[in-house]
Structure 1
Amino acid sequence: MTSAGRFAPSPSGELHVGNLRTALLAWLFARSTGRRFLVRVEDLDRARAGAEELQLRDLASIGIDWDGDVVRQTERAELHASALRRLAADGLTYECFCTRREIQEAPSAPHAPQGAYPGTCRDLTEAQRERRRAERPAAIRLRAGVSEWAVTDVLHGRYAGLVDDFVLQRNDGVVAYNLAVVVDDAEQGVDQVVRGDDLLPSTPRQAYLAGLLGYRVPEYAHVPLVLNPAGRRLAKRDGAVTLAALASAGVGPERVTELLLASVRLPGSPSAALAAFAPAALPREPWVLDPAELTSRPPHRAELSGLGGSTAV
């Protein structure tokens, strides 16, 4: 299977400029290395009617193309279930009946990393499991053999993080994100994962799980987020930050594309940016954006270059 990169949004609403910036970077990473570029809709948890269509339209509006059909995570349930069965057959899963409150109040295991699942249900007897099954349905957790795992990231270098007995399937029967994303990437031939650096802490879990399933661990590149002036992750409540809202204010998708590319020090069209793209030259700091600057007046190229130099507060 030909190698690929991907962008995998959740269809919870319109994409904002932070999401679109990450999508552009994922596209540039993939296309600059001769990979296919895929779009996968991660709709396990949140799906708002019409959101997928709006997101695909917005991606196309800023010059992003993709290969093949769009894939939806909910259409891949048998692949997820098969992976879960393989782990169970290898003795690498167990039932967990803990509530969130019980986990929060449970004492941590000796020497366990902060935030790790304390292992409350790890060694229950069959009689104890039978008793707990009568009280509430079970989630399925991974029986991890390590407490930490390291990955190598294109932008961050070596990163070691927590691996605990994380959830593989929720107690409502829905597969958990950490399992679904690992299976979907492997089955689609995704060997390059470019996404926001807020997801870096979960990456060691996913890389470890990929190894257990016999999958090749992807190349990772976690890119800086877009922040608002208060230093918090940009959100739609911050103002006109979606393509539709910006268009209503007189800022079209071509200008938005220029702005996004300038923020990573690249020329203002996808084709020109692709010709100039070099991961080593990307900024490593978050881009701090005041949405009012987008709509106060039409941005010109010189202004866009200046905005691209913003740093975190």
Structure 2
Amino acid sequence: MSAHGKAAFPLFDEEHSADIVNARIGTEVDPRTRQIAEIVVKHLHAAVKEIGPTHEEWLAAIRFLTDTGHMCTDWRQEFILLSDVLGISMLVDAINHRRPGAATENTILGPFFVEGVPFSPSGANICLDGKGEPLVVQAEVADIEGNPVEGAVVDVWQTNDDGFYDVQQKGLQPDGNLRGKFQSDAQGRFWFRTVKPRDYPIPDDGPVGKLLAKLGRHPNRAAHIHFIIQAPGYETVITHVFAPDCPYLAEDAVFGVKESLIGRFDKVEDPARADSFGLSGPFWLAAPRFVLQRSKQEGSR
């Protein structure tokens, strides 16, 4: 209360609830922090008014968020999973990576990227457990004008044919299974051997999985291979190549599929071609082309 017995701020009422809360923000607060807080409060209050929750429903929401926090560990971030299945992760990524049409589009990183994977020579086989249908990836890195990008560093990772990343099955899968790091040559090319990716479920044994079930949604991700492409002077690309015959392309649990990221996988049954890649039978062949955009700093010079 003020010295005159009057409230220093407006007292609460339902109609002006968001404005009343936002009026409490200090005058010295960072402008961006103020903007974010005001918008979040405005839309939260609008949502509550539109929903009209009962006390029991509101407590259920609080319990859900509490359970989500309890599920988080050093290797599992349930709040990121929640952001993923609500499409927020993809929306934030899209806002921050608006690129010209020719440039390769971003998609989400996912929780299973591993730093420090050693380089492999072009042509290496990254499948160490021997499971799955052989796949040869002959990739190319270029700039928007079509010039090859030499020396691009490319991280690659995917699940095995059982639908698990190596870090999810320590002691069951070989360490580093289906992970690789490659460097593009003077023609912007590199290639490697792996296996055809398969669909798999995101972790659904926690509150996010229960939410999906209540919403009548499945937890499956469309079959894909992860790529991170980095080169000096260019924007880093975090992306996937999706298998075109996967039944979950239009229903990816985290909304990661974009039309431009659906690859072409050709079945090759020519023994001579198989032999040229060190294979002994039929295999799949994919030839993705990654197009990099100059970084903003580079473009401003």
Normalised to the residue count of structure 1, the TM-score between the two structures is 0.22
More helix by share: 1
Provide the TM-score with structure 2 as the length reference. Answer: 0.22
Structure index of larger Rg: 2
